[in-house]
Amino acid sequence: MVGGGGAATAATIAAHEKGARTMLAVKGQFGVPGVRGAGATSNPLGDFWTIRTVGPKGGLFNPPDAVHADMIQSGLGLADPELCRIFVDEVSAAIKRLQTMGMEFESKMLATMEGRASKGKTNRIVAIQKAIIEHTGTEVLEQANLTDLVVDGGRCIGAVGIDDQGEPFVVEAGAVIMATGGVGQLFQYSFNPPGNTGDGYAMAMRAGAELFNMEFMQQGLATTWPQQAILMLYEME
């Protein structure tokens, strides 16, 4: 696994549950909310963090087909409908899984939690999943800045990187899952944490992978000056 945010931790747990021997290599420190290595998942800048929920089919609150249509519309028709469908079909089970692991949300309907790293209230998904990963025998490499995938005969067999002391290293693997987060820090103004420099996109492209939906950077609106703030829009009846 390359990365240490919510995607990498969830994929590590899933791979372990399917019997794989797992390794997680992360730029920065693993699993400490608000610290480089926990990625955008620990959301050090927002006041709160919300997972969009989907209600039961036929219900009044966020019925699945309405959520799907909303996602397609807000992406101006460019979002991959099948990916949106996976989100709609699986998000409720994912929220329940996180709750089983110990994640606490403020409202069942909105799956919201307070942010504010300074008050120790960041999104704790990574820390909670780290506690589970500690029992999976996963080898964790920290300060592991992966730089390129190793491809042999069209198959990815590992990755190379450089540690924080400047020492190069090689990791061999039967399969590699890239979960290195977004690319926000390539822009002058960004809400993303410093580690989100799109390394995974570049590595994947150099290895010959096809990338898509790259135009979707951030779903929410935010201001960057004179103050950083995320704007939330509510429909009032």
Which residues sit at the interface with ligand FAD, rule CB under 6 A? Answer: 2-8, 25-28, 37, 39-41, 43, 45-46, 49-51, 144-146, 179-181, 191-192, 195-196, 199-200
Kind of pairing, strands 155-163 and 144-152? antiparallel
Distance CA 81, CA 161 (A): 35
The nearest distance, CB 20 to ligand FAD, in angstroms, is: 18
Q: Which is nearer to ligand FAD, 58 or 168 (CB)?
A: 168
The nearest distance, CB 206 to ligand FAD, in angstroms, is: 12
- Among 50, 81, 45, CA closest to 219: 50
The nearest distance, CB 57 to ligand FAD, in angstroms, is: 22
The nearest distance, CB 45 to ligand FAD, in angstroms, is: 4
Is residue 21 within 8 A of residue 44, CB to CB? The reply is no
Q: Which is nearer to ligand FAD, 3 or 34 (CB)?
A: 3
Q: Which is nearer to ligand FAD, 64 or 191 (CB)?
A: 191
The nearest distance, CB 1 to ligand FAD, in angstroms, is: 9
Q: Which is nearer to ligand FAD, 32 or 58 (CB)?
A: 32
Q: Which is nearer to ligand FAD, 153 or 187 (CB)?
A: 187
User: 157 phi and psi, to 5 degrees?
Assistant: -120, 15
- Among 39, 4, 33, CA closest to 196: 39
Q: Cα–Cα–Cα angle for 10, 13, 18, nearest 5°?
A: 125
Kind of pairing, strands 23-25 and 139-141? parallel
The nearest distance, CB 21 to ligand FAD, in angstroms, is: 19
The DSSP call for residue 147 is E
Distance CA 48, CA 52 (A): 13
Q: Which is nearer to ligand FAD, 128 or 144 (CB)?
A: 144
